[in-house]
Amino acid sequence: MISPSLVKKIETAGLDAALIEQRVAQALAEDAHGGDLTSKATIAENQMSSAYFVARKSGTIAGTFVAAAVLEECGITKYDILVSDGSAVEAGQKIISVEGNTRAILLAERTALNFLSHLSGIATVTAQWMKEVNGTHTKVRDTRKTTPGLRELEKYAVRMGGGTNHRMTLTDAALIKDNHIAAAGSVTQAIERVKAEFPGIEIEVEVDTLEQLKEALHAGVDIVLLDNMGIEETKAAVELAKNSATKLESSGGLKLENARAYASTGVDFLAVGALTHSAPVLDIGLDF
């Protein structure tokens, strides 16, 4: 069980403490269901040590509360989070200090690092995207392209990097995509069916062409997702939608190198699945 004080910190951060405890328990069981044979053979049962989680490279930190939950599940109660989630760190900077049983620290090490490095990697990549669009009104949003079971944590990491969350689940809003349109018969029919079934729900529709955009604007939706449109076509889309309340989101073909060019067209959002499905881990280690 994790401590009430850590539960409070997790919930203050907008996360589900019970979910984190469950994920941590599963990860530890996966890693050490039979115990740590190497530590049992090489380290005295009562040996005590102190250690630090240290950034090997510069980046943005996320997941310290999850790492702390791992420590507590392994029986370590004496630790100090030195860097808040969402903070930038430099190579060599200490993130968490730990004191406790040496075997327990080593038992927690890999699982804690897996969570901390992965989530910090997402936060770091998101911060890079935010830097590219700085000075524009465009927001960088994530997608549902997340690791099964880790969506809440990965989307939290996006927020720590300065990004914006899109739908957490399929029930948060309607996103009419190409397959929905094909099944319904047209953009207009798909929109009308959603409005009839779920009046008042936010509706976003994906379009491939400017003609489809015109149809979506005429039908009336909250957001239009511009799928794989180039810069010039995106500019034309912004011009078409300028007198409507409908927001525009670019998706497909987006890279750090062209993020500012897309943001400069005037779109409201950039949908970037790579924030979660392709972010490299931030190199973090544990040093005694």
Note if 110 is an active site residue: yes
User: Can you give the length of the chain in residues?
Assistant: 288
Note if 206 is an active site residue: yes
Note if 8 is an active site residue: no
- DSSP-assigned letter for residue 261: H
Tell me which of 57, 94, 167, 177 is the catalytic residue.
Answer: 177
Quote the strand ranges of the chain, DSSP E.
48-55, 59-60, 78-81, 88-89, 94-101, 139-141, 174-176, 203-207, 223-227, 247-251, 269-271, 284-287
Note if 159 is an active site residue: no
Cβ atoms of residues 95 and 112 within 8 Å: no
Tell me which of 57, 139, 145, 260 is the catalytic residue.
Answer: 145
Note if 9 is an active site residue: no
Q: Residue 53 and residue 82: Cα distance in Å, rounded?
A: 10
Q: Residue 270 and residue 133: Cα distance in Å, rounded?
A: 10
Helix (H, G, I), strand (E, B) or coil at 164: strand
Phi and psi angles of residue 76, each rounded to the nearest 5 degrees, phi first: -100, 115
Tell me which of 9, 94, 110, 167 is the catalytic residue.
Answer: 110
The residues that are catalytic are 110, 145, 177, 206, 227
